[in-house]
């Protein structure tokens, strides 16, 4: 990772090539902890990206990418299912950038934006019990566990964070 500080940017059309590269490069890494997106996701990436931007324009979701100084995508932090001042937080960080505090910094940034820019008052998140890194990020960024869940057939934990 370059020495410059990675930036959290709102998703836009110019991110398509770098975002696709990020998803392809990290597909196997992500599939170890979350269900694989499938071949169709990659085959129809441009179409799906356009649909995400249209959904973002409605205010139902807020998508973000974490980029380095060269414009390479290192991660994603998304707020989905926005309703009644609340949203679901999801994130993923490139294998090459993991373990350096990037997820924690990016989640903190998006939490601040959620309150200041999007007017949200609460965020929810979920992760599997065996994803210690994700559980640690949520704990460091002010989320508290609210209960056990089943996530994609695996034991999981639900979290909440007031803003």
**Dist CA 57 CA 47 (whole Å):** 16
pLDDT of residue 1: 37
pLDDT of residue 2: 40
**Dist CA 1 CA 100 (whole Å):** 10
Which residue has better confidence, 1 or 157?
157
Q: Tokens 């324009």 identify what position?
A: 57
**Dist CA 61 CA 145 (whole Å):** 23
CA torsion sign for 158, 49, 94, 97 is negative
Domains of the chain: 7-121 (3.40.630.30)
Residues 104, 141 contacting (CB under 8 angstroms): yes
Helix ranges (DSSP H) in 45-101: 45-58
**Dist CA 33 CA 17 (whole Å):** 24
Structure tokens at 37: 């997106």
CA atoms within 13 A on the CB side of 161: 24
pLDDT in tens, 101-132: 999 999 999 999 999 999 999 999 999 999 99
* Cβ count near 5 (within 10 Å): 10
Q: Tokens 């309150």 identify what position?
A: 115
Q: Which residues pair with 122 in a beta bridge?
A: 86, 162
CB environment 49-81: b (16+ within 10 A), e (fewer): beebbeebeeeebbbbbbbbeeebbbbbbbbbe
- Report residue 20's pLDDT band, with 50, 70 and 90 as the boundaries: very high
């Amino acid at each position: 990772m370059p020495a410059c500080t990675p930036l959290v940017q709102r998703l836009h059309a110019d991110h398509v090539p770098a975002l696709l590269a990020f998803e392809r490069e990290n597909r196997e890494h992500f599939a170890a902890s979350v269900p694989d997106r499938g071949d169709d996701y990659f085959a129809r990436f441009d179409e799906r990206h356009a649909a995400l931007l249209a959904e973002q324009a409605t205010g139902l979701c807020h998508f973000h990418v974490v980029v380095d100084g060269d414009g390479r995508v290192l991660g994603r932090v998304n707020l989905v299912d926005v309703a009644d001042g609340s949203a679901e937080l999801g994130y993923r960080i490139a294998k090459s950038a993991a373990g350096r505090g990037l997820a924690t910094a990016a989640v903190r940034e998006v939490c601040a934006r959620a309150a200041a820019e999007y007017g949200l008052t609460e965020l929810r998140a979920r992760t599997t019990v065996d994803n210690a890194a994700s559980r640690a990020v949520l704990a460091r960024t002010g989320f508290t566990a609210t209960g056990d869940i089943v996530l994609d057939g695996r034991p999981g934990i639900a979290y909440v964070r007031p803003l």
